[in-house]
Amino acid sequence: MAELERLGDDLLAFYVAANRLYTSAARGRAPAWVLTCLEQGKPERVRELGRLRRYRSALPIMIRPDLMALDRGGFMATELDAVPGGFGVLGAISRAYQDLGFTLVGGDDGIVRGLAAALRGAARVDDPSVALVVADESEDYRPEMDWAASALREAGLPTRQIHPRDLRLHDEALEMRNCQGWEPVNLVYRFLELHDLPNIPKIDLVIYAMKHRLATVTAPFKSYLEEKLLFYLFHHPELDEFWRGALGKDRQARLQRMLPPTWLLDPQPIPPTAAVDPPLMAGKRRIRHWDDLRGLSQRERRLVLKPSGFSELAWGSRGVTIGHDVNQEVWDQAVDTALSSFQTTPYILQQFHQSRRVGVSYYDVESDAIRPMTGRARLSPYYMVVDGKTRLCGVLVTVVPAANKVIHGTSESVMMPAMVSDEAEI
């Protein structure tokens, strides 16, 4: 429990440092290749939004890592999400568990209370009116966002879940439609992907309102903070001194244990005098060139390949290929796709980390019975940023059958809030 609580502030410090690294690179004070990595494949409009001077220090108000609990102890983060879904689901099921007397991580109604505080802080006005703006691409999340908006209203924060088309500018004010007419918007919670901006109705109004300080938008339009290749930059030997100075030695060491080594599949030829660093091992074979990834045996393919971000494939496990879960032909094709997509959608590579087995019980609707299941778990803690510090407001635990390689919310998975045990451990 203490480790998870401390992790929130570590990850916030990581975001602060990553934001600073990008800004330094944009000003020519950090290596130019850093800027190239973080802006690869981004249109000019997205790059321009990420560099707005008045939002230079703006950061996400919600942070959610996906953590694997390892057999050897401790956690490994597979990725870090600055615009996560799932908090509505966690808030709703947490209330059901609270009613049954369970003591949950984050406390009673932790998600709702924490999110309300974070939104109020981000709005910078008293009694803000909040719009949870959900785009078509995120349609599956609309029911949970509707629940979250209702719960926030119950907590005293005027909030509505709306489609982008239900926004307008009127008399230099951003407004959203309700069943009676229109009401002002002080803060937009952006639940839409930046790669999808050209397809989102009224997005120009949101950007205008943000630029003219008519409304605040969170998470900020910073595509570089939504890139999985931030893990690659964190472990890059040329940037070690930067991270140590930005984070401090102890925090850097803790994050090095938590954030896995990550490699960027850049198809540029690697000269004979260079090597992949940190070293990448496929079984007992050391990978020196990306072509070496082709033709690996199943045992050597305990690797995960996925798009870094800014793509319709970069969320919901859509673009993930797990090497030892597919045949050699599929793996080789995934490698070819990753290398050929570098200019538009950079891909990253990580070693596969197996979470430890856990036993859970679930309700089987068809048989109307409680059944046991042995599976593998992912912990998704939700941290809200309030007054420059993080609050651990709840942990969503997702368990899938042990044979599954990808841990994700599906019809096969069991999802539940983490509770505090007698030993105060999750």
User: Domains, the chain, ranges and CATH?
Assistant: 1-82+223-260+353-426 (no CATH), 85-92+107-218 (3.40.50.11290), 265-304+318-351 (no CATH)
How confident is the model at residue 422, as a pLDDT?
A: 62
Q: Which helix (DSSP H) or strand (DSSP E) does residue 112 occupy?
A: helix 110-123
β-bridge partners, 362: 371
How confident is the model at residue 72, as a pLDDT?
A: 80
How confident is the model at residue 308, as a pLDDT?
A: 94
pLDDT tens digits along 118-163? 999 999 888 899 999 999 989 999 999 999 999 999 999 999 999 9
What whole-number distance in Å separates Cα of residue 123 and Cα of residue 188?
Answer: 9
425: pLDDT confidence band, cut at 50, 70 and 90?
very low
What whole-number distance in Å separates Cα of residue 248 and Cα of residue 242?
Answer: 10
Average pLDDT, the chain: 93
What whole-number distance in Å separates Cα of residue 47 and Cα of residue 13?
Answer: 23
What whole-number distance in Å separates Cα of residue 48 and Cα of residue 42?
Answer: 10
Q: Is the pLDDT of residue 331 over 50?
A: yes
Q: Is the pLDDT of residue 275 over 80?
A: no
Q: Is the pLDDT of residue 403 over 90?
A: no
Show the tokens assigned to 304: 């995960």
Which residue do the tokens 């009694």 mark? 127
How confident is the model at residue 426, as a pLDDT?
A: 42
Residue range 377-405: average pLDDT?
Answer: 94
Q: Is the pLDDT of residue 299 over 90?
A: yes
3: pLDDT confidence band, cut at 50, 70 and 90?
confident
Residue range 379-391: average pLDDT?
Answer: 96
Residue range 59-88: average pLDDT?
Answer: 92
Show the tokens assigned to 294: 């082709």
- Residue 77 makes CB contacts below 8 A (sequence gap 6+) with 65, 66, 67, 68, 258, 259, 260
Show the tokens assigned to 268: 């540029």
Q: Which of 396, 401, 424 is nearest to 412 (CA)?
A: 401
Burial 43-53 (b: 16+ CB within 10 A, else e): eeebeebbbee
pLDDT tens digits along 194-241? 999 999 999 999 999 999 999 999 999 999 999 999 999 999 999 999
Q: Which helix (DSSP H) or strand (DSSP E) does residue 95 occupy?
A: helix 87-99
How confident is the model at residue 383, as a pLDDT?
A: 98
pLDDT > 90: what percent of the chain?
81
Q: Which of 375, 373, 395, 371 is nearest to 383 (CA)?
A: 395
How confident is the model at residue 404, as a pLDDT?
A: 87
How confident is the model at residue 316, as a pLDDT?
A: 65
Question: Is residue 337 within 8 Å of residue 318, measured between CB atoms?
Answer: no
Residue range 305-316: average pLDDT?
Answer: 82
β-sheet with 347-351: strand ranges across: 262-264, 347-351, 303-307, 321-322
152 CB neighbour count, 10 Å cutoff: 23
